[in-house]
Chains A and B, each alone.
Chain A
Amino acid sequence: MPTIPRRRLLKALSSGAGAFALARLAGPLRLARAASQTAKGAVEHVPAFTGPGANPYWSAVGSVVTYPQKYPLILLTDRPVQLETPRHFFLSPFTPNGAFYVRWHLEGIPSTVDLAEWRLEVSGNVRTPLKFSLPELLSRFHHTSFAAVNQCSGNSRSYFQPRVPGGQWGNGAMGNAQWTGVRLAEVLQAAGVKPGSVQVQFQGLDQGPGAEGLGSHSFLKSLDLSNPVLDECLLAWEMNGEPLPLLNGFPLRVVVPGYFATYWVKSLASIRVLEKPDENFWMKAAYRIPDTPRGTTSPEAVKAGSVKTVPIGRMPVRSFIITPEPDEKVPAGLPNTLRGIAFSGYGRVSKVEVSSDDGRSWAAARLGEDLGAYSFRTWEFAWTPGRRGMHTLAVRATDEKGNVQPEDGVWNPGGYLWNRIERQKITVGAAQ
């Protein structure tokens, strides 16, 4: 703050002229008012951690930080980088590249990619091993473009009860983009998958300090060759019409529509066709869910060692209220619009319903444009609150397969598959 000698300031104040303007500058000497509004509340910070109860916030708790090619995002970890997208970016169906969340597993993530050296290698149990530069890949295969949600397997992990270790994401480890690339199936066809192959494995440019063969050395993910999703997969170099930010996988990333992001390998460098199922750490030990309805289990069952697990796959149906946010206050009797998004890894969102009485009654929301089966779908709901006081809003989505969001959360040791109905408290004030 500007320094003004105290005596001169007092003199200026006593003279009356210009006192108001000076008082504004003077901070500690400002003319105090008995009843002041609490604008200070707007800059209070979230606590450094939450727990052992559930995270009470929509987002992860963490400082807002700036990274190359990124808007200010919420910091989870800095090495490797994990950043969460703040809530307001979900008002639009497409998440800007600069706002798209970031999640890497190994500390050796690329910060420079040399396209003169970079090649996509297709190897393993194929007739013709291939290598493509980026221009070769672009010129050799058809280009395809579609919208798809990319959601971290651990999105919303901080709402688990009891809490589980892992990235303590709020709801912002997700994003929707228009992806452009070539079809994985065409590339595999060009290489010629030999009989006896079972899986296709992806590896990116990231590498950790661990010894070869350990999960801390390489991040490897595989999909079954019999999985029909392979026909829908893209190898994408474009995200929302632009090259991918380095933190989101420049120059090329796997897109597996409907599936959790763990398979969407970033900065892709190698595709291997395997004759035996992939038993590396990231398939055999990590990213596995209980083989139970909704992937839910209990700490007791885990302790007893009785939980059979399978690799995580498609994303269950979800929906979110984006505005109003909980610190807003709306007047009773005046029209308001609730806004949000919905999506499902099992196909189109067919219905979004909103409740303004904590889930006792539901009414259909108006759906936004259908941007594709695996895209975010925006929704709007006109709401005129009838009475003052605290209201609990809730939103639930149904997809075209008939999956509907349940009331209860799930529990599993990985902190995966959270999709219960979201609630939002809001204060309604008197209108006069």
Chain B
Amino acid sequence: MKRFSGQSWATAALIFSAATLLLAQSERGDYTQRNLGALAQPAARRAQTDDAKYSIGSYPLYWPEFPEGEGKSLVTSYCNACHSPRYILMQPPLSREQWAAEVTKMVKTYGSEIPEADQTVILNYLTAHYTPETRKM
């Protein structure tokens, strides 16, 4: 009886050490809570008509956040006339001189009608938030 009991302890110890060994070989099952919605699944488009019109509906807009500050509304409204102001965020941080060249290009080359005083406010905003020294987001 005593010998038998010893045997079962030995078996249990063996199972236990095998389990420990397996545990050491890998780690499992680490999960972290995340929020859904970073990329929503698009629904199927509405039914198509069989005429010669090929439509894909509206293109989505993703209005970005802009830092608060003087000139913010001028920047978003003037720039948005021809393109989404996301164009600003896509750029790498640029120097004041480079931003000045961009504003000038929009006015002189592309014909954006921005009064000179507003051009200065826009340039000041871009300098305050989008140069290598000032850019945060």
Contacts and interface: CB of A to CB of B under 8 A. Distances in A.
Are A and B bound to each other? Answer: yes
Interface of A: 1, 24, 27-28, 30, 33, 35-37, 39-40, 43, 48-52, 55, 62-69, 72, 75-81, 107, 109, 111-117, 158, 163, 165-168, 208-211, 214-216, 246-247, 250-251, 281, 285
Contact of A49 (B29, B60, B93): B93
Contact of A165 (B32, B62, B84, B102): B102
B53 A112 contact: yes
Interface size class for chain B?
35 or more
B94 A210 contact: no
Interface stretch (B13-21, B39-47, B68-76, B115-123): B39-47
Contacts of B27: 33, 35-37
Given A1-B33, A113-B53, A210-B111, A75 B62 contact: yes
B83 to A, nearest CB: 6
B92 A52 contact: yes
B90 A62 contact: yes
B54 A250 contact: yes
B40 A66 contact: yes
B86 A51 contact: no
Contact of A78 (B51, B59, B135): B59
B61 A78 contact: yes
Given A65-B60, A68-B57, A168-B91, 5 more contacts: A36-B30, A64-B39, A68-B56, A109-B59, A215-B110
A201 to B, nearest CB: 20
7 contacts: A30-B31, A50-B92, A65-B60, A68-B57, A69-B56, A77-B87, A112-B54
Nearest to B27: A37
Contacts of A81: 59
B30 A37 contact: yes
The listed residue with most B CB atoms (<10 A of its CB), out of A24, A78, A116, is A78
A216 B62 contact: no
Contact of A51 (B57, B59, B87, B132): B132
B55 A111 contact: yes
A208 B39 CA distance: 30
Nearest to A158: B92
Given A48-B89, A168-B90, A80 B83 contact: yes
Nearest to B113: A211
Contacts of A250: 54
B110 A116 contact: no
Contacts of B109: 214-216, 281, 285
Nearest to B94: A165
Which applies to chain A's interface (DSSP): helix, strand, loop or mixed?
Answer: loop
B137 A246 contact: no
B76 to A, nearest CB: 13
Given A49-B92, A51-B92, A214 B39 contact: no
Nearest to A45: B38
Given A33-B27, A66-B40, A285-B109, A165 B98 contact: yes
Contacts of A113: 53-55
Given A48-B89, A52-B132, A107 B54 contact: no
Nearest to A72: B39
B84 to A, nearest CB: 4
Nearest to A63: B62
Given A79-B61, A215-B109, A116 B52 contact: yes
Q: Sorted from nearest, which 5 A-B pairs have the closest CB atoms?
A: A51-B92, A68-B56, A112-B55, A216-B110, A79-B84
The listed residue with most A CB atoms (<10 A of its CB), out of B39, B90, B137, is B90
A236 B132 CA distance: 44
The listed residue with most B CB atoms (<10 A of its CB), out of A52, A62, A79, A113, is A79
B132 A27 contact: no
A250 B52 CA distance: 13
Given A51-B92, A51-B93, A76-B90, A111 B30 contact: no
Contacts of A37: 27, 30
A1 B55 CA distance: 38
B107 to A, nearest CB: 11
Given A52-B132, A67-B60, A113-B53, A40 B32 contact: yes
Contacts of B34: 43
Nearest to A217: B111
A79 B59 contact: yes
A49 B57 CA distance: 30
